[in-house]
Amino acid sequence: MSGILDYETVELDDDDNCVIIIDQTKLPVAIEQRRLYCAEEIWNAIYLLQVRGAPAIGVAAALGIYVLAKGIETDDYQEFYNKFVRYKDYLNSSRPTAVNLLWALNRMEQICTGRQDKPIAAIKEALRREALAIKEEDIRVCRTIGQYGLTLLKPGDGILTHCNAGQLATCKYGTATAPIYLGQEKGYRFRVFADETRPLLQGARLTAYELLSAGVDVTLICDNMSAMVMKMGWIQAVLVGCDRVAANGDTANKIGTSVVAAVAQRYQVPFYVCAPTATIDLDTPDGEAIHIEERPAEEVTEMWYETRMAPEGIKVFNPAFDVTAHELITAIITEHGIARPPFSQSLRELKNPFPSAPGQF
């Protein structure tokens, strides 16, 4: 019987001209796949969190815009490019905080702009190859993040994570869970505590589900229990993902992450952010410049309840993310190395490629 880790988070069906995703809003009750054929379906899948997690969003956008470009019927480059850009701008409007979305779409656009003298069929083939390359890169990047992260951990460590930065947020391994999966392969026997992550419960529905499926020792806790487990000495490291890293090291991640970071500092627990270098946005100076998406009130008041659990007419503030100040972050783990303070210097160095081997700045 297949488990959740036997499914691909995002994949291309080139013969059927569609992107296939796991509908993560149905987990863990049911594993349902959706086929996305048109721009509106791809946009909705990203906005409605059917596909989520910064790396997976980027891959879905890359595969999606290839499918859309494939359907543009013209032999005129300018007409093709104009329609491509309209699709790109539309898909990019679905989620504003995760930088991977625009990063992937920009990479796809560069395929077009660099081939103005090529036949449209050749451009479409190049787009296909680039989209699949982005997916394969995500797998390599996550595994390498896991290798670097594992150098900071010891067998038997207790690890706290928040939201879902696991395989369901990427194409394989995850970012924050990559060290956990690699440690599982080596017999490290980590003890993982997963925050449920209100209000969308990604920790309960997704992280706890996939780690349990992988045989990891995982315990689900409510978000407001993190201080208790740290105080009891059960946590030796916090591992979280992120959707955007500012030039100064401030990071935007799922709402509640900054609270975990502050608690970790109080109890002297290392707080590590696991982030592909594609998530590093050197054009964003600090966390104040990151646009924070606000989600519908219904996610708080009624989404997970049989009956509404808040009074009618109540005002609701529902930001999807918060910003963790760089002062609270011990290190940022990327596929190119481990950045430590001062992040304004180490992050800039990591954006320049060099051979990867577990180590640190």
Short-list 241, 246, 269, CA closest to 256: 241
Query: Active-site residue among 243, 250, 281, 322?
Result: 243
Distance CA 254, CA 298 (A): 18
Distance CA 290, CA 113 (A): 28
CB-side neighbour CA atoms (13 Å) of 191: 10
**Three-class SS string for 109-154?**
HHHHHCCCCCCHHHHHHHHHHHHHHHHHHHHHHHHHHHHHHHCCCC
The answer to whether 243 is a known catalytic residue is yes
Distance CA 105, CA 130 (A): 11
Count CB neighbours of 92 within 10 A: 18
Question: What angle separates helix 99-113 from helix 120-150, to the nearest 10 degrees?
Answer: 140
Tell me whether the omega of the peptide bond preceding residue 179 falls within 30 degrees of 0, making it cis. Answer: no
What are the residue numbers of the active site?
Answer: 243
